[in-house]
Amino acid sequence: MQSRGLLDLQVNGFAGVDFNATDLDADALDRALAAMLGTGVTTCLPTIITASAEDQARRLAALDRAVAESRFGPVMVPGYHLEGPFLNPADGYAGCHPPQVMTAPDADLVLRLEAGLSRPILLVTLAPELPGSEAAIGRLSGAGKIVAVGHSSADADTVAMAVEAGATMSTHLGNGVPQTLHKLDNTIFAQLAEERLHASFIADGIHLPRPALKAMLRAKGIERSILVSDAVSAAATRPGRYSFAGMEIEHGPDGSVRLPGSRYLAGSALTLDKAVGNIVRWGLGSPEEAIRMACDNPRSLLAPALRAHGLPVPPEGHVTWSADWEVLQVEHGGVAHRRK
């Protein structure tokens, strides 16, 4: 089977390379992006997580410089995803993000961070229950950004407010919440029930149990569901310890990535081709539906943001798949990349 290239809206690092590192350079970024191409991803939004404004500025500057100077960056990276610091700092919602530097949503901060970059911040994840969220969402969406709900305790009324203000997506729905919630009156159900929101899901069998993912996909509908990896530097690597945004993380034998000794997940080691294969192998969707969630749906969501920033649509490329959903070859930029 052949498909268009996959698009990953949330990727923090890959193949041993941390996109949040302040010493990131073009060579390291190219290693990561070349490895990502081998998994069928032809477009991605490198993701910068919660940090102080000063640290986020340094991380974005290094990332942007690496993208501009790299071989693959100019054709694979149209912009960036800012996941934090506008997240809920309470235990369970914060996850592995440092709560001490979280702050109320501030559109001016996003625009200041973006100033001077060669590529825009295209996606911002925030918790809309925080003060000032409605105004910030309105300004960010008005500036052409995708605004997503994530790491949030928002109830149904707050989710509706966020959507009315301009939010269009839920980030890794079902994660970034405490292990114990009210059984029905909780933010997961509130976001699932909001038909105007798309939702991204991490289909690794770790972030979401298969029955839960099945129910969520049915509730949200294939047409509003998006597969993401939430990959960190441990993706496409062997089990061991790696660096992520100044933290040490552990890629376990079970495929999970956690802060050592912690119950909290710290991103994933998932690759997007594996997510596509999992959807098919687990009987959660047809091959066409799995590809749609990893290719067509994220492109449709991203397209208005690209237009708002005057950016061209990134080249899609083509992926050739084996019968058991392994990537055999990716054609991108006139070059055929075979998986090693």
| Mean pLDDT calculated for residue range 324-340 | 85
| Mean pLDDT calculated for residue range 176-203 | 96
pLDDT for 340 equals 62
Average pLDDT of the chain to the nearest whole number:
96
Cα angle value 68/69/75 (rounded, 5°): 55
**Per the residue annotation, which of 8, 18, 55, 230 is the catalytic one?**
230
- Predicted TM-score (pTM) of the model is 0.97
pLDDT for 265 equals 94
Is it true that the peptide bond before 85 is cis, omega within 30 degrees of 0?
yes
| Mean pLDDT calculated for residue range 182-191 | 96
- The whole domain housing 300 covers 2-338
pLDDT for 335 equals 74
pLDDT digits (tens, 9 = 90+) for 14-58: 999 999 999 999 999 999 999 999 999 999 999 999 999 999 999
Contact status, residue 102 vs residue 86, Cβ threshold 8 Å: yes
Res. 338 pLDDT band, cuts 50 70 90: confident
Total of domains in the chain:
1
| Mean pLDDT calculated for residue range 196-220 | 98
Res. 179 pLDDT band, cuts 50 70 90: confident
Token duo for residue 282: 């687990």
Closest to 146 measured CA to CA, from 97, 191, 198, 187: 198
- Our answer to whether residue 108 is catalytic in this structure is no
pLDDT digits (tens, 9 = 90+) for 231-246: 999 999 999 999 999 9
Closest to 152 measured CA to CA, from 93, 217, 74: 93
The CATH number given to whatever domain includes residue 125 is: 3.20.20.140
Token duo for residue 92: 């369970």
Q: How far is it, in rounded angstroms, from Cα 134 to Cα 156? A: 14
Q: What percent of the chain has pLDDT over 90?
A: 95
What is the length of the chain? 340
